Chains A and B, each alone.
Chain A
Amino acid sequence: MTVQQQPNSFRTGPDERGHFGNFGGRFVAETLMPNILELEKAYAAAKADPAYQKEMDYHLKHFVGRPSPLYFAERLTAKFGGAKIYFKREDLNHTGAHKVNNVTGQIMLALRMGKKRIIAETGAGMHGVATATLCAKFGLPCVVYMGAVDVERQQPNVLRMKMLGAEVRPVTSGSHTLKDAMNEALRDWVTNVSDTFYCIGTVAGPHPYPAMVRDFQCVIGNETREQMQEAEGRLPDSLIACIGGGSNAMGLFHPFLDDRSVEIFGVEAAGHGVTTGLHAASIAGGRPGVLHGNRTYLLMDADGQITEAHSISAGLDYPGIGPEHAWLNDMGRVKFLSATDDEAVAAFQLCSQLEGIIPALEPAHALARVFDLAPKLPKDHLMVVNMSGRGDKDLDSVAQFLESKKKK
């Protein structure tokens, strides 16, 4: 795709109609429009209210455990002999991933709006767990929609959600995965518009979700900026993060978008390989279309029917990507790469054994690309990887994957 004319700033979007260039928007049924407009207004008011910010900061510090460390991955750095590799340790947050940053913001907004019931969709279950956790803390009933396939492969998270008092509804429509969970959540919202708050887990969906979720996740990049100043006295040279919908990546990237010296990489899930058709790489293997309230890059067939995504990582198994990422791709500001299941599992093992950190399969995709980028870079190159979650939930999947490889 040709690179369009560069804007003065990459940080001013979206416009008042929710567009990032040609992407984003509000493609929803009329029943939801009044809700979405109400949400937009309520979020704008909350954003401008110092009391809301202060309360959120309090919970992020005392409940979530922020700031998360910026950790120098010394042995991986030594192994590759190139760039100095840092991990932004979102895996150390309460509930085990970056998802809780966004959920804290949205649940506090729901309380401000007087909503009585929370619904969410989840893929790997991390967003579901985070939502169930905040709902337990604030005493709100919580319903989590999860594809039946994901319920099967992410049992530990299903048990956590139930322990926290949430109702997990397995979704058996469509392809039984994250996109169908989102369809079901939208159907629930259409049916229960007046009292229900839909807590979306990523930087996708109708405006204002992509911008709002991004704002809540920017704490990742803002902290990284300060911590890198403290550690090295300057900005990082590159950032890299995995991308399904893309909220962990957007949270790290956005505060650095206007620092042109910082190279930025997003890593999509290539599943069995982008050329096989069995993958979840919407930018590498998809094209612009409209789904779940926004226009963005999507996996689809020639008739515009959405096709199933494939990835060993349930958290990246989504046939779309956040609209702001789609725009940053077309503007050439973020470079999109991909990593296969095999590469992610290899990185998962290496990181566990060299750093004593078991990463989630999602950031293992980013690590896989770090492993070929880092050796080619000079020793004074500072690279930050978003360690977006921990891998406890993935041990079964990885063990099964390795077992099936052995048999072949």
Chain B
Amino acid sequence: MTTRIERRFAALKAEGRAALVTFTMSGDPDYASSLALAKALPKAGADLIELGMPFTDPMADGVAIQAAGLRALKGGQTLIKTLAMVREFRQDNDDTPIVLMGYYNPIYIYGVDKFLVDAKAAGVDGLIVVDLPPEEDVELCLPALKAGLNFIRLATPTTDDKRLPAVLNNTSGFVYYVSIAGITGTAAPDASKVTAAVERIKRHTKLPVAVGFGVRNAESARAIAAGADGVVVGSALIDVLRANLDAEGKAGPNMVKAVTALVADIAAGVRSAKR
């Protein structure tokens, strides 16, 4: 049985282009706006959707995503509501893969077994849990694989050839290569280094490799897409979202339009990459 993620990457490979993976925070700044944005993303050119599960203490995230998480929590977002949002998204979209990304504690408190059943039923395809390295695979990774969800792991510049096999061992769906040692939303990566890193990872795995951290516009996305199977963009979208909030932090009338415009621009960059 293949997952939506596997099918989507296979289809794009046949098309000969890289995937555009978008990251937005579920519930930012409120449930309804965030759902409206998620629903508009595929049409704007997102091939896979990553939805953040907000957490009070996101230790690997930069200011943009930290603030997005706090806005969502302030707006009343919970893990229960994030799953509800996926269910609503699935009512009129059955083929765009959805990956939930966040930190372990809310899942642990929800209850791992119950979470996996509910996530699968809601239409979630994969999980990225930042603070679960392979050393803690028994916690969630192995149960998730058993439940039929992809468990996508981050590989970083500090993951050397000796460590890569351990990182890739239970990874499925795709590999998320974090192109810089640092938090989200910082320095742009050097495209030639990224291509070399992707080649290094591909020597160890047949899985698609998506690259994130530091992608801000069509140009940087095009450069990354030339050497990777996917390009992840997050902080840049969240910056636009934030710029379209009113003084009280509520979503302005043009929020969805502004964010999807940037997505469309970046999607054009990804699609025009020479491979």
Residues of A at the B interface (CB closer than 8 Å) are 17, 25-35, 173-174, 179-180, 183, 186-187, 190-194, 289-293, 298, 300, 302-306
B183 touches A191 (CB 8 A): yes
Smallest Cβ-Cβ distance to B153: which chain A residue? A30
A34 touches B186 (CB 8 A): no
Nearest CB in chain B: distance from A351 CB, A: 35
Within 8 A of A (CB), among B157-182: 157-160, 163, 167, 178, 181-182
A174-B70, A303-B78, A305-B54 known; 11 new pairs, CB 8 Å cut-off, are A25-B135, A29-B154, A30-B178, A31-B60, A34-B163, A186-B59, A187-B183, A191-B186, A292-B57, A298-B105, A304-B109
Which B residues are in CB contact (< 8 Å) with A179? 57
Residue from the list B56, B80, B131 in contact with A290, Cβ < 8 A: B131
The 10 closest A-B pairs by CB, nearest first: A304-B109, A304-B106, A191-B182, A29-B60, A303-B78, A31-B156, A186-B59, A27-B131, A304-B105, A306-B56
Total B residues in contact with A, Cβ cutoff 8 Å? 45
Per-position contact with A for B145-157: 1 when CB-CB < 8 Å, else 0?
A: 0000000011111
Nearest CB in chain A: distance from B202 CB, A: 18
Residue from the list B57, B106, B154, B160 in contact with A174, Cβ < 8 A: B57
A33 touches B135 (CB 8 A): yes
Which B residues are in CB contact (< 8 Å) with A292? 57, 59
Which A residues are in CB contact (< 8 Å) with B207? none
Residues of B at the A interface (CB closer than 8 Å) are 54-63, 66, 70, 73, 78-80, 103-110, 130-133, 135-136, 153-160, 163, 167, 178, 181-183, 186
Which B residues are in CB contact (< 8 Å) with A34? 158-160, 163
A and B contact pairs by CB, cutoff 8 A, 15 listed: A26-B135, A27-B133, A28-B133, A30-B133, A31-B178, A174-B56, A186-B59, A187-B61, A187-B183, A193-B158, A289-B109, A302-B109, A303-B106, A304-B55, A306-B56
CA–CA, A305 and B58, complex, Å: 11
Known A-B contacts A26-B136, A30-B159; the reply to A193 vs B73 at CB < 8 A is no
Nearest CB in chain A: distance from B26 CB, A: 13
Nearest CB in chain B: distance from A380 CB, A: 47
Residue from the list A25, A183, A305 in contact with B136, Cβ < 8 A: A25
B160 touches A183 (CB 8 A): no
CA–CA, A186 and B61, complex, Å: 10
A29 touches B131 (CB 8 A): yes
CA–CA, A337 and B34, complex, Å: 44
